[in-house]
Chains A and B, each alone.
Chain A
Amino acid sequence: MILVVWSSLGLQAQKVKKQPWIDFNPAFRFGFQYPQLVGSNFFADDLTESLGFHTSLSLVKIANFRATVGWELQGYRNNNPNRIGNFSHIQSSTALFQVEYEHPLNGRWVLNPTLAYGQSRITYRATRSGTTLARQSWEEIRLGSYANYSFDKTFVGYVGLHYAFLYNSDIKASPADEDYFGRGNKLVLSLGILIH
């Protein structure tokens, strides 16, 4: 009887495998994104979005939270040369610092709500690869979530939806121009692969 009890206890111990509090399980995310500019501002009124690229890396998970650093490259086309100049192409390069939480939904699906802070350098060019005519520094606060689907232990596909508020606190302009040219909002739809 002691042997039966002892063996059943051992089986229970094998079933309940504890998740480590600190998990050195890197997560490398890369994919495409499409922003939808919204609001009444220079970005939404005078620019056209195009497909962008993003990537991010997290090295450790602590109690289901991850700190992630990421980078994005995004281009826009200028539709209104009379507004602030005849710049054909505007490029945004963004460094993002993100906190995300892994919330398992079931065996394969995980929801990753995220909160991020980003710093962007925006370059105004005469043509796509032409002379740089002006530069700006922007910041953004981004909130949203990824939904991850695990194909196996290593490869995960994801879609993401985020809302970002962009602002340029360095811009010097009249109050009306500062509001129009110094603020922006966008919804960002992303799609890509995450590798553990």
Chain B
Amino acid sequence: MRLLSGLLLLFLAGCGIPYDGETIINIEGRVVDAYNQPLPNQRAYLGASYGDDGYDTATYKTVTDGQGAFRLTLFRPNEGAELIFEENSTYLPLFCTGLHTSNFSGLQWNLGTLVRYKATDLVSVTIVVNTVNPNSILEQLKLTGMIYTPNYDFNTLTTGDPISLDYQVRKNQTCTLQYKVKNGLTQQVSELTVPLVIAESNVTYTLNL
């Protein structure tokens, strides 16, 4: 009888119910600003997909405490979920996607430190690729540093676009431009890095290959 009940539950769980009532997890993390200062009173809610086109946003909400920390005790989402910090009068939106068992093990899901940016914190960086040597093939290009992206993706399977040319970055920092260039004749791949100093203005950097 118990086996039948369990099987029935398992079947029903796959039939469009957003949460697994038999598994309780804790999602925690810390929210800071662009200068690593804790952000209290940041409101977020969980968006959980289920079924063909179901999406629940009303069941789980949280607010950061005085240290910028938050903690949610919840039934584990059956399918993918995301933690959403909506845009408000001060900060740009932040979507933490990939909250799924394939990306987190155990019952404690630690999202780490999440950074929220104000629009006034940011300048744009544009990379212009200038192919001087026709045999040079740009295979990968990435800027690292304090960079704003609305989507904080926990999907470990997602590698992202190998070549990104436009960024919104925090002012007053030194970013690192990492890129890979392949010689079409020799097939040799070179990995290079270039420091980019960001001040108060937008930056356009020409990368000569």
Q: How many residues of B contact A (CB 8 A)?
A: 28
CB distance from B19 to the nearest CB of A (A): 4
The reply to whether A172 and B5 form a contact with Cβ atoms under 8 Å apart is no
B74 contacts chain A at the CB level, 8 A cutoff: yes
| C-alpha gap A132/B58 in the complex (Å) | 13
Q: Once A and B bind, how many residue pairs between them come within 8 Å at the CB atom?
A: 80
B1 contacts chain A at the CB level, 8 A cutoff: yes
With known contacts A124-B21, A135-B17, A85–B74 Cβ distance under 8 A: yes
The reply to whether A83 and B73 form a contact with Cβ atoms under 8 Å apart is yes
The reply to whether B58 and A173 form a contact with Cβ atoms under 8 Å apart is no
A174 contacts chain B at the CB level, 8 A cutoff: yes
| C-alpha gap A90/B5 in the complex (Å) | 18
The reply to whether B61 and A137 form a contact with Cβ atoms under 8 Å apart is no
Residue of B nearest to A86 (CB): B59
A87 contacts chain B at the CB level, 8 A cutoff: yes
CB distance from B20 to the nearest CB of A (A): 7
Interchain residue pairs with CB less than 8 A apart (11): A85-B60, A86-B58, A87-B59, A126-B58, A133-B59, A134-B21, A135-B9, A137-B5, A171-B24, A174-B107, A177-B26
Known: A84-B74, A86-B58. 18 other contacts (CB 8 A): A84-B24, A85-B59, A86-B61, A87-B59, A121-B5, A122-B21, A126-B58, A126-B59, A133-B17, A133-B18, A133-B19, A134-B21, A134-B75, A137-B22, A170-B6, A172-B107, A174-B24, A178-B24
